[in-house]
Structure 1
Amino acid sequence: MVRCLLISHGNIAPAFVEASRRIAGECENVFTLNCDALGPTRLQERIAHLIESSHLEDGLFILVSLRGGSCWHAAAKIAREHERVKVISGLNLSLLLSFITKHKKYRFEELGEVMLADGIRGISHL
């Protein structure tokens, strides 16, 4: 089963997961990781441990809030080492809900593009 890991500072990731559960119900394949008090090396080790212990042959999407931030750098380094790990920055509720509602409908190779399009579509200016 494809999985999704949200990495953030503070309570951002758990808050997104809680909001998505209220909208779409439970999703057993979404996890969070708080990167507070973790240096770059330790954060990479935590991500690598999750990958090794979870047998992620179906793939893993790592969602982070800011491209170029510490969470993104750690996730990007891991993604370069694992073909079935993809990082998407710009975390928003539309992006997460897209994963939750569509991860069984699309192959891993397609799902990232679908999620990205849905996440972008969820941003507007009135």
Structure 2
Amino acid sequence: MKAIIVTTHGALCKGLLETAEMMVGNLENTFSLSLDEEGITKFSESMDKLINDLKGVYNEILILCDLKGGTPYNQSIKHFFLNPDVVKVVAGVNLPMFVEVYLQLQSVSLEELLKLAIETGQQSISN
């Protein structure tokens, strides 16, 4: 069973999930984690706890982050290096990426979800 974590600076991740829920209905196996005014140390502790809790239930976790190189990404990539068979990370989350990945969450492999996230995120940008 797979799970998605959306992690961002501020409340962006919560807004993204609320918006997606309007489109696809109740979201299952999906979690959000915000970097807020409590700071990096608290965020890191929260990320560690969330990942450890989820690993007891889910055997694969895809983390979607807002910005490569930012704290949510850096903390997420740490978990990828600690658990490369369980955790995958994509930076640059947007609504089309999240919705497409969510709709395919239990249908395809974690590697395929990773590729789908990147392709959908890129294809959703246009002029």
TM-score, length-scaled by structure 1: 0.90
Matched, 1:4 2:4: yes
Following TM superposition, the consecutive aligned residue runs of length 4 or more in structure 1 with deviations greater than 2 angstroms are 37-45
1:34 is matched with: 34
Instruction: State the match for 2:69 in structure 1.
Output: 68
Secondary structure (helix, strand or coil) at the match of 1:15 reads helix
Percentage of matched positions with identical amino acids: 26
> What are the within-5 Å matches in structure 2 for residues 1-126 of structure 1?
1-54=1-54, 55-83=56-84, 84-125=86-127
Larger CA deviation: 49-58 vs 82-91: 49-58
Using the size of structure 2 for normalisation, the TM-score is 0.89
RMSD after superposition: 1.5
Deviation of 1:117 after TM superposition, in Å, equals 0.7
Q: Structure 1 residue 43: deviation in Å?
A: 2.4
Count matched residues.
Answer: 125
User: Structure 1: which 5+ residue stretches go unaligned?
Assistant: none
Say if 1:3 and 1:56, in contact at 8 Å, map to a contact too.
no
